[in-house]
A and B are shown apart, each in its own frame.
Chain A
Amino acid sequence: MDFNDTPDEAAFRAEARAFLVANAAPKSRARPVLRLGDMGADAVQQCKAWQAKKADAGFAAITWPKQFGGREASPILQVIYQQEEDNYAVPRGLFEIGIGMCIPTMMAYARPEQLDRYVRPALRGEEVWCQLFSEPAGGSDLAALRTRAERDGDDWVINGQKIWTSGAHLSDLGIIVVRTDPNLPKHEGLTFFFLDMKSPGIEIRPIHQMSGSSHFNEVFFTDVRLPDAQRLGAVGQGWTVSLTTLMNERLAVGEVHRPDVEDLVELSRSLLVDGAPAIRNGAVRERIAEWYARTHGLKFTRFRTMTALSRGQTPGPENSIHKLVNAGKLQDIASYGLDLMGMAGLVMDDDMAEAYAMFQQALLSSPSARIAGGSDEILRNIIAERVLGLPADIRVDKNRPFNEVPTGAR
């Protein structure tokens, strides 16, 4: 065993590092960048400028075919680039969905002339993409979605509502899965399209989250018209196409969450419990040790995945472990940090709260981490069914026409 790069990997890492040294500032650990509220126009511009720079240097889509501006390189190089970029304060959060999910789906199903039109602007950050999947009635049970598309000559007309759409308000384009035949069982009546987010009839309303941020949106469709040429895959094949998109989601690299166990160590050195630093307290030490072991267990699980990637294997559903463990750990560490602060734990004023209120922010934002992008429960189902081979849940709606499936009050 060793942690060394192969010669090719080492050469690539050096190239990536040189690019980052020349173009970005190292990240400061002391004060993490918190993403709060809406992304302002300035931040959008910074993201776009960075994306163009990254694309021109060949780091924006490392695994893509060369004809689309990629390097046709192994996913291991993508992971290496990400490792390096994580050490730098670069503007992020606008293109991950487009580059990571939308465009790969386009590459699998769109026509060549459409790829010529859309891929490069997405890669360079000139156009932003979003993914319109979840609905009020279709979250974990995504295939229960109800937004309708009806054929009208060479066009389709969309009516309905999407929800939890990250960045819809900043997007130029989107991919969408809709119901085209409610008389068929739920997975069979779906069809997939891409569309212009500026189309008449689209209304976008931000969702104000409990954390104060507005990352997600509701998107309403009223007689939105789009040509059949924007269909991806056959009519009724929408579920299969959606799975292509979601498979790419699992390959996306996990974000680094703060506060982490090292932040908790720092906090417990400065706070007092019974007149001594909290870290002297046996109960506190046990909790720190448990989170340290989980954190490093995940880190080394990632190293095992990298080893598999490096040997040309494809990671599978076992990757669900990362988000499942990380999101719950974040919530627990945040809550415990406030406990250590005692009665002052509730204060969020920047100038008074410990660690720039990082623990309080995380207390309020971590509930969304356990739900968005696959809830804890769905991830456990994935592990149980697809890794451990346990039987799928019994589905009472599976073979019934969608319009005869009971829906409850909402």
Chain B
Amino acid sequence: MNFDFSDELKQLRDQARRYLVEQSPRAVVRQVLDGGERYATALWRGMAEMGWLGAAIPEQYGGEGLGYEGLCVLAEELGRAVAPVPFASSAYLATEAILLAGSDAQKRRLLPNLADGSAIGCFALAEGSGNPDPANVRLRVVGGRLSGSKWPVMDGGVADFAIVAARDEASDVALFVTDLTAGTVSRRNLTTIDPSRNHARIEFTGTDVEKLGATTGWPVVQRLLERAAILLAFEQVGGADACLEMALGYAMERYAFGRPIGSFQAIKHKLADVYVAIELARSNAYYGAWALSADAAELPLAAATARVSATEAFHLASKENIQTHGGIGFTWDVDCHLYYRRSKQLALAIGAAPYWKNRLVELIETRNAA
């Protein structure tokens, strides 16, 4: 049994944690939250220099070839730091879409720019309300051109290009790549519950798009979402862990009724429950990391399980962190809300909890039928 990260990856984790403590303190997060920047550009450049952006991109396409376990380790630390960078959009969603569906020529053209940070990618799926579902993909590509709007698109206002899920001329769902700086594209930055991460509404008006590879059909979107779910689960676990650490720190230093509030069982038991939720989520995320790196047949079920668990853990940890802090916990100046916001943002990003729970049971049914 070897169900843990290797010593090298633990070193990478420690190094990433130290780097983010220095380069992405919560003051940097607030820069973006308060509208000073749309993402932390200096941090992003530093991450590019350290090779994080191409962690899972094979070396032949300009990446580091660190593998998926390395990417998982980085994801957890970025989640812990609530890092205000388009990492999930660029390094999980856009990169994975190209790796999954792109032709070799497309990989050669697009991946090196993602790896060195010279281009930011995003993934445009939603067309307003609803969870991931082929019926909710209505935009159509006609004669190589796309018209209509996609929203919300995570990091859509800061990306250079988008991977768009749309219908091709045969009405099949497919992935397309498109330049977002073209004159036929207009973008509006959205006001959201989490201003520390950019979201946009993207309007296409006869925009030139190129089909990603030759694969069509909903399963390619589903596979992409599953792979992203595992990486996002690590971000969620990292965020939840940071909430628990904050709550513990405050519970030790805050006195009420003549003793630290952390000595009251009302607080102790609450935080024990948070710990339990995080441990379960972490273990499920580890299984996802294994499935991702082994490209195992169990990946879909592992992804849904990791997603359900991590969403629950981050939600619990972020709300109980505020509760443990009491009145000061819901002020703008104290950092609890950064995590509370991010928790819900991540919970919705690739489909909400009810969607993933339903998907998990679908996969159990498929497994049982086999």
Query: Which A residues lie at the B interface, using CB under 8 A?
Result: 1-5, 9, 76, 265, 279, 282, 285-286, 288-290, 292-294, 296-301, 303-304, 306-308, 310, 318, 321, 324-325, 377, 379-381, 383-385, 387-394
In-complex Cβ contact of B1 among A5, A293, A385 (8 A)? A5
B287 at the interface (CB under 8 A from A): yes
B259 at the interface (CB under 8 A from A): yes
In-complex Cβ contact of B360 among A292, A325, A383 (8 A)? A292
B15 at the interface (CB under 8 A from A): no
Q: Do A388 and B1 have beta carbons less than 8 Å apart? A: no
Q: Do A392 and B263 have beta carbons less than 8 Å apart? A: yes
A76: chain B residues within 8 A (beta carbon): 1
Q: Do A303 and B358 have beta carbons less than 8 Å apart? A: no
Most A Cβ at <10 Å: residue of B269, B289, B368: B269
B366: chain A residues within 8 A (beta carbon): none
In-complex Cβ contact of A391 among B260, B269, B308 (8 A)? B260
Q: Do B268 and A293 have beta carbons less than 8 Å apart? A: no
- Interface CB pairs A-B, < 8 A, 22: A1-B2, A1-B286, A1-B294, A3-B3, A282-B358, A289-B357, A292-B308, A293-B280, A296-B283, A297-B279, A297-B280, A299-B283, A300-B284, A301-B280, A310-B1, A321-B279, A384-B265, A388-B275, A390-B252, A391-B259, A391-B263, A393-B263
Q: Do A390 and B308 have beta carbons less than 8 Å apart? A: no
In the complex, what residue of chain A is closest to B72 when comparing beta carbons? Answer: A1
* Closest Cβ–Cβ distance, residue B115 to chain A (whole Å): 24
B256 at the interface (CB under 8 A from A): no
Q: Do A1 and B271 have beta carbons less than 8 Å apart? A: no
In-complex Cβ contact of B357 among A285, A318, A324 (8 A)? A285
* Closest Cβ–Cβ distance, residue B134 to chain A (whole Å): 19
B172: chain A residues within 8 A (beta carbon): none
In angstroms, Cα B73 to Cα A39, docked, is 51
In the complex, what residue of chain B is closest to A309 when comparing beta carbons? Answer: B1
Q: Do A380 and B268 have beta carbons less than 8 Å apart? A: yes
In angstroms, Cα B267 to Cα A393, docked, is 11
Q: Do A293 and B3 have beta carbons less than 8 Å apart? A: no
B174 at the interface (CB under 8 A from A): no
CB neighbors of A among B279-308 (8 A): 279-281, 283-284, 286-287, 289-290, 293-294, 304-305, 308
Q: Do A300 and B275 have beta carbons less than 8 Å apart? A: no
Q: Do A4 and B305 have beta carbons less than 8 Å apart? A: no
A385: chain B residues within 8 A (beta carbon): 268
In the complex, what residue of chain A is closest to B359 when comparing beta carbons? Answer: A289
Q: Do B361 and A285 have beta carbons less than 8 Å apart? A: yes
Q: Do B268 and A384 have beta carbons less than 8 Å apart? A: yes
Q: Do B2 and A307 have beta carbons less than 8 Å apart? A: yes
Most B Cβ at <10 Å: residue of A265, A289, A306, A393: A289
Q: Do A390 and B358 have beta carbons less than 8 Å apart? A: no
CB neighbors of A among B94-112 (8 A): none
In-complex Cβ contact of A321 among B1, B276, B368 (8 A)? B276
Most B Cβ at <10 Å: residue of A2, A286, A293, A324: A293
In angstroms, Cα B311 to Cα A159, docked, is 55
Q: Do A394 and B263 have beta carbons less than 8 Å apart? A: yes
In the complex, what residue of chain B is closest to A300 when comparing beta carbons? Answer: B283
* Closest Cβ–Cβ distance, residue B306 to chain A (whole Å): 8
Q: Do B1 and A390 have beta carbons less than 8 Å apart? A: no
Q: Do B263 and A307 have beta carbons less than 8 Å apart? A: no
B262 at the interface (CB under 8 A from A): yes
Q: Do B312 and A1 have beta carbons less than 8 Å apart? A: no
* Closest Cβ–Cβ distance, residue A71 to chain B (whole Å): 19
Q: Do A307 and B368 have beta carbons less than 8 Å apart? A: no
In-complex Cβ contact of B312 among A282, A293, A301 (8 A)? A293
Given A286-B354, A308-B4, 14 new contacts (CB under 8 A): A3-B2, A9-B1, A285-B357, A285-B361, A289-B357, A290-B312, A296-B283, A304-B3, A321-B276, A380-B265, A380-B272, A388-B244, A390-B252, A390-B268
CB neighbors of A among B217-273 (8 A): 244, 248, 251-252, 259-260, 262-263, 265, 267-269, 271-273
B5 at the interface (CB under 8 A from A): yes
* Closest Cβ–Cβ distance, residue A27 to chain B (whole Å): 19
User: Sorted from nearest, which 10 A-B pairs have the closest CB atoms?
Assistant: A297-B280, A289-B357, A384-B268, A300-B283, A383-B272, A391-B263, A380-B272, A303-B3, A289-B360, A285-B361
In-complex Cβ contact of B4 among A289, A304, A377 (8 A)? A304
Q: Do A282 and B283 have beta carbons less than 8 Å apart? A: no
* Closest Cβ–Cβ distance, residue B44 to chain A (whole Å): 29
In the complex, what residue of chain B is closest to A297 when comparing beta carbons? Answer: B280
Q: Do A325 and B273 have beta carbons less than 8 Å apart? A: no
A299: chain B residues within 8 A (beta carbon): 283
Q: Do A4 and B361 have beta carbons less than 8 Å apart? A: no
Contacts A293-B360, A391-B262 given; indicate if A325 touches B276 (C-beta within 8 A): yes
A318: chain B residues within 8 A (beta carbon): 279
Q: Do B309 and A297 have beta carbons less than 8 Å apart? A: yes
In angstroms, Cα B262 to Cα A389, docked, is 9
Q: Do A297 and B281 have beta carbons less than 8 Å apart? A: yes
Q: Do A377 and B265 have beta carbons less than 8 Å apart? A: yes
